[in-house]
Structure 1
Amino acid sequence: MTPRITLLAGGVGGAKLAEGLAAIYPPERLSIIGNVADDQEFHGLWVSPDIDTLTYSLANLIDRKQGWGLTGESHRVLAGLERLGCETWMSLGDQDMATHIFRTQLRHQGIRPSAIAQKIAESLGVTINLLLPTDDPLQTRVRTEQGWLAFQEYFVRERCLPEVQEVRFEGATEARATPEALAAIKTADIVLIAPSNPVVSIAPILAVPGIRRALETTRAVRVAVSPLIGGRTVKGPADRMLSAMGYPCSNLGVAASYTGLLDGLVIDQDDGADRAELEAKDLRVMTMATLMTRAEEKARVAEETIAFADTFRREREEVEA
């Protein structure tokens, strides 16, 4: 039987692997748990950047040039807000605004955020099981020399320029994991961690009480795809954030950030020198070209990663037989 796969993913990097999986895998056997700690209110509307990036990518409506937002956008509402003196550093297109209006209306009606995310995905033709780790408030905060910033303030307004001194996840202690996310991990045959930022895309998911424990105890094979190529990220501050959090800025740092949660790690072919040290830590390692720009590259990385994980799964089944 086709194995059940659950993917933990942030936004842009996570969406690439999600698209690759969607291209080759039956949607009914695939679940994606997305990051909600980047969520923030703008102009009275609740914006969920990573979940929307996943949704728009899977619907093939994403603006490919910038990697987020909808293709063919206009920004007339934002221009009007700017004329009225509003801060408009968070670029929200007109079609994108419609998503946020709809989400906010349903939230005000008391509908679960998980159900709202599923409704938006379905309305755009996405049939994959897109899940939230929690329905409760959870927000990433970044401490810099300017003080504490919401993640979008640091990432978009400040363009990741301030040095990161500390990261925390407000609301994590009180948050409750959604039963759907816990079930997706428990019943999976393979759990994948996307090449998303380990510090601010995946760690917030793991910070939700019950999620880390579910990953520690699942019988699924657990494999992460490193976001680093040549020891650096293609886009975004993951490499600098690893260093700021005290991890080596390398695949060893990526592995350390997932201590106790991995059976294997996929690294780029340019980082093959890390392999021996990673294997010394009882990790299975596969090297390949992990850059995902074109659709065929996304599908290839997904296919090779599944094959890598499925090898462990079959070995485990043989030992237990």
Structure 2
Amino acid sequence: MDFDSRSPVVVLAGGTGGAKLARGMADVAGDDLVVIANTGDDVEIYGAYVAPDPDLVAFWLADRIDERGWGLEDDTFNVMDGLRELGVDVWFNLGDRDLAYGVRRAELLAEGVRYTDAVGELTRALGLSSAVLPMADAPVRTTIRSGDRTLAFQEFMVRERAQPPIDDVRYEGAAQASLSPEVAAALRNARAIVVGPSNPVISIGPILAVPGMAEALRESPAPVVGVSPVVGGQIVKGPSAPFLTWAGVEVSAAGVAEYYGDLLDGIVCDEELPAGGLPSLRVDTLLNDVAQRRRVATDVLSFAEGLRG
């Protein structure tokens, strides 16, 4: 996609909420959709370079997501079973075809291919016309400090089941990262920018930590609209609540809006916000089926276009 000659709809996404909204937005924006995906969750394991959020988004966009909510539909797990038979501690489970994507990505990166181009090759193999862009080509890793331990994100989430107390969150390597030309052009030329209903701290936080990202959002002529991950006063999925609590943020749409601050021009949520504050649209934001995802995406895009005037 030539981001300098088009006006894309850009979605910042990580985790299931962002991926579901991206899938609905694909029905509304079509080929103009660009997803900037969190890469702070990435992990190198089993000889593969695994990119959970870019792949999650891609599998959703390709309608290949498994009913588990992650991985490829109807995948097998023969390699994981074989590793267990060899005595390997398989704490991070990957399907065989899912693993193949990680192995191929590792090969491309070892050959010196840019991360953006490696992701592009794999998304094209899925037949996608929408673009999935990693937030940066340089490695960024989210880590969580709990007591005297510092845990990589996947260790915290998968091995430890997100149970340890959260004492600090860091985005290692973010200071050395930079916007790719594709990300910079997509934000510069966007007609709307949507911050997905993802965990603000561990899914969107790493994206915003890339130098130049927040400035590009502020400088873009496009309206920037957030979609609250808080539905019915609760987090639908994942450990957003403890991370928001760690960050001193109220678990509410108002709290999420406060967390993002002046990056947002408006927010979409299912609760009434105080009058006179950030412009808001109150709608049902559940994303459980095709109709809901399409409706929310339509509402979000219409709201953004209204803010643009």
Q: Deviations over 1:256-276 (max 9, x none)?
A: 2211100100112xx32xx11
Show the 5 A alignment for 1:55-204.
55-63=58-66, 65-145=67-147, 147-204=149-206
> How far apart are the structure 1 equivalents of 2:48 and 2:302?
42
Verify the 8 A CA contact 1:226 1:251 in the aligned structure 2: yes
Verify the 8 A CA contact 2:9 2:29 in the aligned structure 1: no
Question: 1:54 maps to which residue?
Answer: 57
Question: 1:207 maps to which residue?
Answer: 209
Question: 1:5 maps to which residue?
Answer: 9
One-letter code aligned to 2:22: A
> How far apart are the structure 1 equivalents of 2:210 and 2:87?
37
SS at match of 2:262: coil
TM-score under structure 1 length normalisation: 0.92
2:38 matches 1:31? no
Deviation at residue 182 of structure 1 after TM alignment: 1.1
One-letter code aligned to 1:181: V
> How far apart are the structure 2 equivalents of 1:30 and 1:74?
31
> How far apart are the structure 2 equivalents of 1:85 and 1:171?
33
2:241 equivalent among 229, 239, 242: 239
**Percentage identity across aligned positions?**
40
RMSD after superposition: 1.3
Deviation at residue 230 of structure 1 after TM alignment: 2.4
TM-score under structure 2 length normalisation: 0.95
> How far apart are the structure 1 equivalents of 2:89 and 2:59?
25
Stretches of structure 2 that go unaligned for 5 or more consecutive residues are: 1-5
Question: 2:3 maps to which residue?
Answer: none
Q: Deviations over 1:27-80 (max 9, x none)?
A: 1x22110001100111121100001000111111111x2211011111110011
> How far apart are the structure 1 equivalents of 2:292 and 2:253?
21
Q: Deviations over 1:92-119 (max 9, x none)?
A: 0011111111111111111011001011
Verify the 8 A CA contact 1:144 1:162 in the aligned structure 2: yes
> How far apart are the structure 2 equivalents of 1:283 and 1:239?
22
Show the 5 A alignment for 1:281-300.
282-300=277-295
Verify the 8 A CA contact 1:185 1:218 in the aligned structure 2: yes
| Total equivalences in the alignment | 304
> How far apart are the structure 1 equivalents of 2:125 and 2:73?
17
2:39 matches 1:44? no
Verify the 8 A CA contact 1:240 1:249 in the aligned structure 2: no
Deviation at residue 4 of structure 1 after TM alignment: 3.0
2:21 equivalent among 17, 23, 30: 17
When residues 300 and 146 of structure 1 are mapped into structure 2, their CA distance, relative to the original with a 3 A threshold, is: farther
Stretches of structure 1 that go unaligned for 5 or more consecutive residues are: 315-321
